[in-house]
Chain A
């Protein structure tokens, strides 16, 4: 490496990031050092080869917008669903508790609702636990 030109200056020269006086200094050093010329040529070749790695742009239908949109709107949907459900359950419970229906009828319907909810929640809980502890969940099928 030429003593006057640092590695960083050589990179800035290569990437056209030097001020004119510094650029002239490197130009001057290059005319006097074949070693520096060779080094610059190597890095230029590597830079050009990497920059030449191109790829066909993804077609319109491969846009990530659909997935992103789902991800950002889903929490709003969940929030509305949960809030609405909580309000509905509280309202139903109040109406049911204050109604004039037969006590046996109330106990029966209450049992069915509680039993159904317990089964549903426990099944969802099991599935979530199963997924969280699945050692193969990252394997793409």
Chain B
């Protein structure tokens, strides 16, 4: 579900004016892509849903400070990203291990389901997830925004509050870090694809 820009502006205006009933369509519109970003950053569905829920509450409570000249989307993702980072820091300080069993999963896209191929694909996905968990939060977040959510550079710059020129540089370092982590784990990207 996605909202037209003018509908979104109107909904935000109404919630800002003090009518929380209009917040529901905004939550419904953003929870799908938001969960995807949060899962990419947190590594499991449960933590991702907690982060998403908390981010929506923070968005609501801070809506009075929201500048209507800005787009709601990047502002929401900025708050979600900060929430994920806070929770990751808190998780690291508690020494909680990541739950590996319910991450983004491989979904067969072809017309015929091949179990062996699916198994190999899932193994490749697991490897990729391990690689993502080994790189720093800063690298992971930019990869999640670019690859999982397909944001353009100017949108990423707004969400991460960095100059647009820095996005390409950060993406390069993040991709290189992931490549190094995957190579270290035995994946072969030397010919332009994992083996």
Q: A residues touching B (Cβ–Cβ < 8 Å)?
A: 7-12, 15, 17, 38, 41-47, 49-51, 53-58, 62-65, 67-69, 71-73, 138
Contacts of B194 in A (CB 8 A): 45, 49
Instruction: Verify A65–B57 contact, CB threshold 8 A.
Output: no
Query: Interface size (B, Cβ < 8 Å)?
Result: 53
Instruction: Give 5 A-B contacts (CB < 8 Å), ordered by A residue.
Output: A11-B169, A12-B153, A43-B179, A58-B31, A58-B35
Shortest distance between the CB of A4 and any CB in chain B (Å): 16
Closest to B24 in A: A65
B159 located at the interface, meaning its Cβ lies under 8 Å from any Cβ of chain A in the complex? no
Give complex CA distance A54, B108 in Å: 10
Contacts of B106 in A (CB 8 A): 54
Contacts of B32 in A (CB 8 A): 57-58
Interface segment, one of B4-12, B110-118, B124-132: B124-132
Instruction: Verify A72–B57 contact, CB threshold 8 A.
Output: yes
Contacts of A55 in B (CB 8 A): 36, 39, 103-105, 107
Instruction: Verify A54–B146 contact, CB threshold 8 A.
Output: no
Contacts of B84 in A (CB 8 A): none
Instruction: Verify A8–B168 contact, CB threshold 8 A.
Output: yes
Contact with A46, one of B57, B61, B150, B178 (Cβ below 8 angstroms): B178
Q: Is the interface of A mostly helix, strand, loop or mixed?
A: helix
Instruction: Verify B94–A64 contact, CB threshold 8 A.
Output: no
Closest to B144 in A: A50
Contacts of B124 in A (CB 8 A): 49
Contact with A41, one of B150, B169, B182, B192 (Cβ below 8 angstroms): B192
Give complex CA distance A33, B24 in Å: 53
Shortest distance between the CB of B165 and any CB in chain A (Å): 8
B75 located at the interface, meaning its Cβ lies under 8 Å from any Cβ of chain A in the complex? no
Can you name 6 extra interface pairs (CB under 8 A) apart from A45-B189, A51-B147? A7-B168, A12-B153, A46-B182, A47-B175, A57-B32, A68-B27
Closest 4 CB pairs of A and B: A41-B192, A8-B168, A50-B147, A55-B104
Most chain-A CB neighbours within 10 Å: which of B40, B124, B171? Answer: B171
Give complex CA distance A51, B149 in Å: 8
Q: A58-B35, A65-B31 are in contact. Are A73 and B172 (CB under 8 A)?
A: no
Shortest distance between the CB of B31 and any CB in chain A (Å): 6
A interface footprint on B117-140 (CB within 8 Å = 1, 0 otherwise): 000000011001100100000000
Contacts of A68 in B (CB 8 A): 23, 27, 53, 56-57, 60
Contact with B143, one of A7, A50, A65 (Cβ below 8 angstroms): A50
B191 located at the interface, meaning its Cβ lies under 8 Å from any Cβ of chain A in the complex? yes
Contacts of A17 in B (CB 8 A): 152-153, 168
B89 located at the interface, meaning its Cβ lies under 8 Å from any Cβ of chain A in the complex? no
Contacts of A12 in B (CB 8 A): 153, 168
Contacts of B94 in A (CB 8 A): 138
Q: A64-B27, A71-B53 are in contact. Are A53 and B148 (CB under 8 A)?
A: yes
Instruction: Verify A15–B57 contact, CB threshold 8 A.
Output: no
B65 located at the interface, meaning its Cβ lies under 8 Å from any Cβ of chain A in the complex? no
Contact with A54, one of B28, B96, B107 (Cβ below 8 angstroms): B107
Instruction: Verify B31–A63 contact, CB threshold 8 A.
Output: yes
